[in-house]
Amino acid sequence: MSVAPVSLNHAASPLSATVGAGRQADFAGALAAAASAGGKEAAAAGDEAALRDAFQSFVGQTLFGEMLKAMRSTVPKGAYFHGGTAEEVFRGQLDQVLAERLAENSGEMLAGPMFELFSLRRQ
């Protein structure tokens, strides 16, 4: 049984970069869809809810994700109790989940005003 080698570059977590790029693409798609509406009429309730969710996930991925990344960078690695590559991968995934939960619980405080400004600009 042979196992293919896996190359992991942990300067920036590849998992969080891939998921972050996907979320930003979703956000960009939602903004493009809203902009293509022309701003003549108010968005339908379903479109507005989807756009609010896109704003909230964007806030979660950018603000909270970067905040956690900056916090982790201030803590020095221990000489004896560092888990190596596996710990770095796990921390990246943990930070991603924490950013999502923070966005679910308190992202509306930031995403709400952003959405309102965007809505005013569209009209």
Mean pLDDT of the region 95-105: 89
pLDDT digits (tens, 9 = 90+) for 36-75: 554 444 445 668 888 888 888 887 788 888 999 999 899 8
Which carries the bigger pLDDT value, residue 35 or residue 114? Answer: 114
Handedness of CA 107, 109, 115, 118 (dihedral sign): negative
Q: Inform me whether the pLDDT recorded for 76 exceeds 80.
A: yes
CA distance 94 to 108: 21
CA distance 92 to 96: 6
pLDDT digits (tens, 9 = 90+) for 4-40: 444 444 444 444 454 455 556 666 666 666 555 544 4
The token duo for 118 is 């965007």
Residue-level pLDDT at 93: 93
Residue-level pLDDT at 91: 92
Helix residue ranges, H only, the chain? 14-36, 45-59, 65-74, 84-106, 108-122
